[in-house]
Structure 1
Amino acid sequence: MTQEKKTQDFGNDPLKVRDTDHYKDEYVSGFVDKWDELIDWDGRANSEGDFFIKLLKEHGAKKVLDVAAGTGFHSVRLLESGFEVTSADGSPEMLAKAFENGRKRGHILRTVHADWRFLNKSVHDLYDAVICLGNSFTHLHSDNDRRKTLAEFYATLRHDGILILDQRNYDALLDHQVQPTHNYYYCGDNVKASPEHIDESLARFRYEFPDKSVYHLNMFPLRKEYVRKLMRDIGFQKVTTYGDFKETYREAEPDFFIHVAEKRYIEGENE
């Protein structure tokens, strides 16, 4: 039996760690155990309201694949709103925590351990919607990994399905327009989340908890228009982007962008 890793290892030069597979070493059990302090389920539910629930219902979605389940926040919320949900994640530690959180709330989560790049090896069904939330897509560090992942998401959707994918507003960070807050997705009052380094191919974030423990995540700073173009390149017909749950916004203001990509064929669509 392998021993759970409690501490992260970024080597002698953390800024050189720009590899998709490293996420397995970032979500160590010590960090996962504290993740819900960072999220604050009640705070997050209040901040986003019923945005995702309404969006899914507007598109007629009933069966949802949560590919970045994390500790289960959205999976549980959607289950409690009447959706049929499958919860997937690349981190077995996260899936175990999600299952535990679901059970505490009276639910048995249907979980799948899956690497997005090979999603359809592990997931053998079609869904009305795929959701990839919590800034998770930025864990993919290469263009090839992102394209392969989006193709896998596309393949598991029904012919008229939708993908809902969010990301931090890295444009504002890269262009030095604003410092990030955590008013929406990171709602824990006593947790500090701040960027230690950012350049065109790395955003390194530091997370400090009340007990003085510190963890890091190395992510790729995705520009908004790049993500929208990727989605269209893969075959999604229409991409609508919201800023902090609003359809109208100034580019530098939102902390997060939320992309809704539609698979259904729209004749003459050229967005």
Structure 2
Amino acid sequence: MQKMCLRNFAECLKPGGLLFIDHRNYDAMIEHGATPGHSIYYNCKYPVDIKTSVLVVRGKPELVALDYCIDGANDDDNERSDFRLCYYPHKLDTFTRMLDEAFDYRAKHQIFADFKPIDQVSVPGFYIHVMEKDSM
């Protein structure tokens, strides 16, 4: 299903069109058992605690669960928000290959780390892939 979805994205793009797609740094989560402590997408003024769990089946990571606890306490109220997000942990090499296959290896493929050149961020929170469809 995931490969078909990526193929559909590739087919929808006009020649020369761009696809921007990101994914979390599951490589770091699997290796260290923790989520990188920063986020390029969330600017929360409240303390956020993220507990990371990796489900391994027959030696292979099958699921990453992120349990968020956001303490929204201030002078007026004492709210706390708890929720869980679950993901299939696509590692960087695997997701890169899936994108290249979806574009039949004919797209220019750049990878950024937290929107910076990949060599400038040691442990990014997100990888951003930019696919430029062949103009032929």
- CA-atom RMSD, angstroms? 2.2
Which structure dedicates a bigger proportion of its chain to strand?
Answer: 2
**Conserved? CA contact 2:34–2:52, under 8 Å:** no
% of aligned pairs identical? 26
Q: How many residues align?
A: 122
Q: Which residue of 2 aligns with 1:169?
A: 25
Residue pair 2:68, 2:82 contacting (<8 A) in 1 also: yes
In structure 2, the partner of 1:184 is 40
Look up the SS of the partner of 1:201 in the other structure. Answer: strand
Change in Cα spacing, 1:262 to 1:193, as seen in structure 2 (3 Å) is farther
Partner of 2:115: 245
2:67 pairs with one of 206, 209, 214: 206
Q: Secondary structure at the match of 2:116?
A: coil
| Runs of 4+ with deviation above 4 angstroms | none
Ranges in structure 1 where 5+ consecutive residues have no aligned partner: 1-144, 267-271
Structure with the bigger RCO (C-alpha within 8 Å, sep 6+) is 2
**2:102 corresponds to which residue?**
234
> Residue 157 and residue 165 in structure 1: after superposition, are their counterparts in 2 closer, same or farther (change >3 A)?
same
CA-CA distance at 1:253 after TM superposition: 1.8
Higher relative helix content? 1
- Residue 216 and residue 229 in structure 1: after superposition, are their counterparts in 2 closer, same or farther (change >3 A)? same
* Unaligned stretches of 5+ residues in structure 2: 56-60, 73-78
Length-normalised TM-score, structure 2: 0.77
Cα distance, 1:162–1:181 mapped onto 2, change above 3 Å:
same
Aligned mate of 1:215, from 83, 86, 111: 83
Q: Normalising by structure 1, what TM-score? A: 0.41
Structure 1 residues 196 and 247, CA, compared in 2 at 3 Å: closer, same or farther?
closer
